[in-house]
Each structure stands twice: as C-alpha cells, then as structure tokens.
Amino acid sequence: MIDVQGLTKIYQVHVRKPGFAASLRSLWHREYREVRAVDGIDFHIPEGQIVGFLGPNGAGKTTTMKLLTGLLHPTAGQIRVGGFIPFQQQNAFKKRVSLVMGQKSQLIWDIPASETFLIHKEVYEIAPADYQERIDYFTDMLNLAAVIDKPVRQLSLGERMKCELVAALLHRPDLVFLDEPTIGLDVNMQEAMRRFIEAYNRDYKATILLTSHYMADVSALCDRVLVINHGKLLYDGAINSLIDRFSPYKRIALVLGDPVAAETVQAAVHSGGGRLVSYAYPQLEVEAPREEVTGLSAKLLTSLPVVDLTIEDPSLESVIGMAYANTDEPQPAEAASEPKEIGV
C-alpha cells in the first residue's frame, strides 16, 4: 500500500552571516547549505497496518509524512502510496489520503466545526446521505454531539482535536498520516483518541502511519515501528524486538521482609552478576543483563529475605532514548529482513 525506496529530501537553507556588511553582500551572493532531512529510506507498509513512526525532534518524520502525502517533492527516490505518486497530486489520490498535524488546525476559528465539515462535503463531493452517515459515525464515536455546533474558538484542546480528526477523515481516506494527533491532550482524551484511531483502522481498513511522542499511543496502537534519526531509518520491526535490541538489561524490583546490611545486599547482587541500582529498606532495585536475570533472581531469593520480586523490562521511553543515543552518529543503512535493525 505504501512503498518507499531510497527516499531522500534535501532542503537548501540560506546561510545568514552576522553583520551589516555580510547582509549587504548576501543581496548579491546568497550562500546555501544542505539539510538532508530524509536520507535514503526504504520501507513497505501493507494495507490496513498501523505503523508507529518514531524519532527525536528534527529526525525527519514530518518531512517524510509531507513527502508521502504529496506536499513535498522528493529530491531522490521513489514513493508509491495506494498506487499513486503523491507529488502528482491526482484528484483520485487526494480523495484517499489525509494528513493530520496535531500542531496545525484546518478548522475555521470563528465558525462551528459543523460548518467546516459542510465545506469539506462540497470540496470532496460527498453525497448527502453518505455525509449524514459519516457525521453520525464520528459524533457517536467521538462523543461530539454537544460540540460541533459551538464556534471552534470556544472548544477545549481535546474537543478541537477530535473535530480536526473529523474534518480530516470526513472524505473517508484509507491512507492516513497522523503527525502527533494527541499532543497536549490529557490522558483520558489521549485514550479516547486512541480508541477512535483503532476503530477507524478496523472499520475502514485504513493504512495508518502515526508519529507520537507519547509511547502509550505507540504501544497501544502499533505492533510495528519505524525509527528514524538524522533522516536515516534505524529500525523497522516489532516493538518487542526494539526493546530486546536496544535494551540488553532488565530490572528486578524486590521487597525485603527484614532489614539486611547494605554490604550483604551488594555482595549478593554482585555475585549473581547484577548491579545494585538502589536500596532503601524494604525496597531493592537491581539491574542485570537479560541472560543473567533468571540465575540472579534465584540467587537473591535464596540469599536475602525476599517477600516480593518482579522482573521488568525498561519503559519504552527509556528504550527509545537508548536507541537515539546509540545512533547519534548516523551509520549507513543496510538491506534488512523482518524485524530489521539498520546501521546500529
């Protein structure tokens, strides 16, 4: 459904030098530098899949989404989205695609969202019966009945974001690009948005690429993630394998039934191949390489008065943080199979 090969976008950025003389000179002789925002990426997303698109600020996510929706022309590489070449901007493509940017509004501020929806109805030539059926679907799913007739400027951020989604999906696209759709929302509203995205994907077999800085969005919605940094794809595969790949350690949290001297605790942890993270009776936290965890747990259970023990993976946030830190110097990409870890 989405096929990308060697996709590259280089921006030319005007270099402004400080000082009056340099400003004058730049009137005649402008200097440019290149920003390789997207640097030769490849991926394929089949129909109906929801894929998380992760990367730190400035990694190239928004640029990739703009390329996939035809807002930007690539510098090099090939893109096919639903069989179309996005930058050709064919009408049939526009009717199947939508880009939602959490930080940008397409609603008109001074009128109710319902009137923007009517404008979209005309633009996308939606038949009256279909329009009503879709409005009913969205108002029901997003609990919007009391909201869509108020001027947009009176809406809360969460209410407005729900209306943004309706405006973006009213023409019922099956190729959906969501750039930070839950940014700034409280946890309940994030959860409501997630449930809606899940339902839309299921009901319309929509193929969805989603960026979010909230890992809860990504882990709830996406089995697969693409990780990008410095414009290069670092990882394409399952979330679980991402955790295995970038975090070779697990944490063991223990509760002790009786106080034990810190040196005794330290010795037990050390001899089992672990590292003591913290000890404040009765809580004890230990870190160990994955392959040592079983042996270390058994050792701690026999040598300390343990009343509770849990083994945890590090949070997805910290794994992603490790992935970015490991790849701050970009490496060349390699051809890869599933799951693929590229150049790390």
Ligand X SMILES: Nc1ncnc2c1ncn2[C@@H]1O[C@H](COP(=O)(O)OP(=O)(O)OP(=O)(O)O)[C@@H](O)[C@H]1O
Q: What residues make contact with ligand X under the rule CB under 6 A?
A: 11, 13, 35, 37, 55, 57-63
For ligand X, give the closer residue by CB, 37 or 222.
37
For ligand X, give the closer residue by CB, 11 or 204.
11
Nearest distance from C-beta of residue 79 to ligand X, angstroms: 15
d(CA 126, CA 103): 27
Residue type, 110: D
d(CA 209, CA 86): 15
Nearest distance from C-beta of residue 92 to ligand X, angstroms: 27
Nearest distance from C-beta of residue 12 to ligand X, angstroms: 8
Number of neighbours of residue 54 by Cβ within 10 angstroms:
26
d(CA 179, CA 80): 19
Structure tokens that stand for 15 in this block: 């270099």
Nearest distance from C-beta of residue 64 to ligand X, angstroms: 7
Backbone angles phi, psi at 192, to 5 degrees: -65, -40
Q: Where are the beta strands (DSSP E) in 71-191?
A: 76-81, 97-101, 175-179
Nearest distance from C-beta of residue 344 to ligand X, angstroms: 18
d(CA 255, CA 48): 45
d(CA 231, CA 81): 20
Query: To which H or E segment does residue 308 belong?
Result: strand 306-312
- Among candidate residues 114, 8, 126, the one with its CA nearest the CA of residue 67: 8
Number of neighbours of residue 140 by Cβ within 10 angstroms:
10
For ligand X, give the closer residue by CB, 72 or 193.
72
For ligand X, give the closer residue by CB, 64 or 190.
64
For ligand X, give the closer residue by CB, 55 or 274.
55
For ligand X, give the closer residue by CB, 144 or 234.
234
Nearest distance from C-beta of residue 174 to ligand X, angstroms: 23
Nearest distance from C-beta of residue 211 to ligand X, angstroms: 7
For ligand X, give the closer residue by CB, 41 or 243.
41
For ligand X, give the closer residue by CB, 35 or 333.
35
- Among candidate residues 86, 90, 92, 109, the one with its CA nearest the CA of residue 164: 109
Nearest distance from C-beta of residue 55 to ligand X, angstroms: 5
Burial readout 316-337 (b: 16 or more C-beta within 10 A, e: otherwise): beebbebbbeebeeeeebeebe
For ligand X, give the closer residue by CB, 225 or 260.
225
Nearest distance from C-beta of residue 329 to ligand X, angstroms: 16
- Among candidate residues 200, 301, 316, the one with its CA nearest the CA of residue 247: 316
